[in-house]
Structure 1
């Protein structure tokens, strides 16, 4: 076996192998970019299918419900969960609309305070500021009409995907065996064991990551809501839930949530000291998230280093915006599992991995491990 590998290495020097991997990755990203409107809903559905697999197994094997009905119930429960979050946010936004007069008054007060500060600091009169704002608003309006069309198109795509993803998820779960058999048919017999290992590791890694992410989201939302309530910030529950949801976008999600919370605080109150409370709550939650929640909950069998994660998120954001950022880590995890199980690509898996994580991976949450182990018993 070693002789065959040595001969293969002589036939394929490093620079040729490097070029092959590089061209393959460029082709992959090109396909993802141009096919993002079709592929990304399918990728979301695939992740949902992997996440809901233990639920399907529970209904099918434990409760003896027919397989098709088990899949339908699993997808329905997922829709119910997501709908409840959307309804809650809509309900909270209703309160904001009810307080619109107070919000507009606070915005007006802040605007005048800023005008006074600019005049005292830079000796720029109110008329000059207003003249500048009028010119800026004219330019903004011209650009705004262009962005409005883009926003309407994006929103239409979002609504379409919202309908398609549950259907895709149901069908992917229903035809799971068909896809596995297809892969077994196109792979040579000597590599079938490798294929089964890859599929099992991908399922385990994705389930571990997504279950951990959902748990982290719930804890971050709860901690932030409690912190904002203690600090006396209005709409604490809504801002807490939004922070939990945005925290699912690695690295930048919590920053976006903090900016939104500061803006919401400014519009709901004239007390500028509350901004310090928002920053303090976010800093504490971020510290707990990075040092306790992520090592204990989100750590999975696949370790990805920070450089690979950040670059992946940037590429994902460039290709498909927020959905690309969210999908970046699972896609990198899948790529790493494939690399780790193919001898010639193993060094690339090592490159995007994080060996130091094994020493500081922390304690794992028992119920997540239980769910994952149960699902691993059933392929």
Structure 2
């Protein structure tokens, strides 16, 4: 057993580039696990900088300097963000508060409808099951109320954190755009000399992450707009709130779509009941999800969707547990990173063995 482990170690870590790549990955994972919350503003700024680097590059191709292109892109981004906040946030806030106030009435109506199930389907549902289900719903409702109270008590500190983010993140984004080449030069000098595999993986992942963030932003906007038009055409209540939820649900592969389906169908059911309108809303919603998964996602992420869904879901669970929201958001590129690292590591080791045999 010891000889086998020794052979495996010599085979995997015989190349200094492989050792450097391994140590860098260990350092990166440890930094994220222990300091991820502190680095959250930097990570947000980095994601936004990746998103905005594409228009900056296009403006530079038109003959503008990086400084001028960064100023124009950053100004347009801040202007659009402020317009969205001013027009959309009040509507979302109003619909959210209305939904919370009407939630007890919805739960009461749901309990009444559930108690009718034993009469409609006596062979499949009995009263004891309904009572247990209703009791579980009450416990969850009480727990949700306690969480809302706790959230309101900590709103002051949350507001201060938001203010810090509103100041720090835009500054970081602007300087990341303006000084990208200088920052990349500093990073290159900080890396060790044996970095062939690091450069190979870095070049591949830099392009993938850039395309992924830009694609996710487009996917969120398209899905949210199409959902709003669909819900509004059916005169569904809380159309803006639900469409925003559906849009942001695409950030969590597979799991997000399953979670957001519940509030969409519940609101439609309480508004229209078991009617044809409810059925058409459900059909339209599932068509949106099907088009997103089978048309929009392959167009935006042609490389990412080549990963098996099992690997993507496993990446969501593992990286989400390690890194929280950012682990879930970057689940697909992180899974691609693991694949790229294993490919580069194997190819590097094979090249080292081949060179050693050729020398002998």
The reply to whether TM is greater than 0.5 is: yes
Q: In structure 2, what is the equivalent of residue 33 of structure 1?
A: 33
Give the conservation status (yes or no) of the 8 Å contact 1:258–1:279: no
Question: Contact 1:45–1:169 at 8 Å: present in 2 too?
Answer: yes
Contact (CA 8 Å) 1:106, 1:266: kept in 2 or not? no
TM-score (norm 1): 0.67
- Cα distance in 2 for residues equivalent to 1:97 and 1:183: 44
Q: 1:244 aligns with which of 213, 225, 247?
A: 247
Q: Structure 1 97/181 Cα, relative in aligned 2: closer, same or farther at 3 Å?
A: closer
**Structure 2: distance between partners of 1:108 and 1:160:** 38
1:8-30 deviations in Å (ceiling 9; x for gaps): x8871359999998887666434
8 Å Cα contact 1:212-1:299 kept in structure 2: no
CA distance in 2, matches of 1:239, 1:140: 19
Q: Which residue of 1 aligns with 2:329?
A: 326
* Partners of 2:272 and 2:78 in 1: CA distance: 39
1:342 CA drift (Å):
4.8
Q: Provide the residue aligned with 2:205 in structure 1.
A: 202
* Cα distance in 2 for residues equivalent to 1:101 and 1:343: 54
Where do 1:1-379 residues align within 5 Å?
A: 12-14=10-12, 28-62=28-62, 64=64, 66-93=65-92, 96=95, 103=102, 107=106, 110=109, 113-114=112-113, 116-117=115-116, 157=161, 160-186=164-190, 198-266=201-269, 269=271, 271-273=273-275, 275-300=278-303, 303-343=306-346
Q: Which moved more, 1:45-54 or 1:69-78?
A: 69-78
Measured against aligned partners, the alpha-carbon deviations of 1:43-65 in whole angstroms (never above 9, x if no partner) come to 3322322221222233345263x
- TM-superposed deviation, 1:282: 2.6
State the Cα deviation string for residues 278-309 of structure 1 (Å, max 9, x = none): 43223211221222111122224795433332
Q: Which residue does 2:4 correspond to in 1? A: none
1:184-207 Cα deviation digits (max 9, x unpaired): 435577857x66655443332222
What's the offset of the Cα at 1:99? Answer: 6.4
Range 310-319 or range 74-83, more displaced: 74-83
Structure 1: state its 5+ residue gaps: 1-8, 348-379
Three-state SS of the structure 2 residue aligned to 1:37 is: coil
CA RMSD of aligned residues (A): 4.6
Q: How many aligned positions are there?
A: 335
Partner of 1:180, secondary structure, is: helix
* Structure 1 residue 251, shift from structure 2 partner: 1.4
Work out the CA distance in 2 between the residues paired with 1:208 and 1:165: 21
Task: Report the Cα distance in structure 2 between the residues aligned to 1:10 and 1:322, rounded to whole angstroms.
Answer: 36
- Which deviates the most, 14-23 or 87-96? 14-23
C-alpha separation between the residues in 1 aligned to 2:102 and 2:140?
23
Q: Distance in 2 between matches of 1:209 and 1:323?
A: 13
Inter-CA distance 342–80: structure 2 relative to 1 (3 Å threshold):
farther
Structure with the larger RCO, 1 or 2 (CA within 8 Å, 6+ apart): 2
Q: What is the alpha-carbon distance in structure 2 between the residues aligned to residue 207 and residue 123 of structure 1? A: 54
Contact 1:312/1:332, CA 8 A, preserved across alignment: yes
Instruction: Kindly indicate whether the alpha-carbon contact (under 8 Å) linking 1:51 and 1:206 is maintained by their aligned counterparts in 2.
Output: no
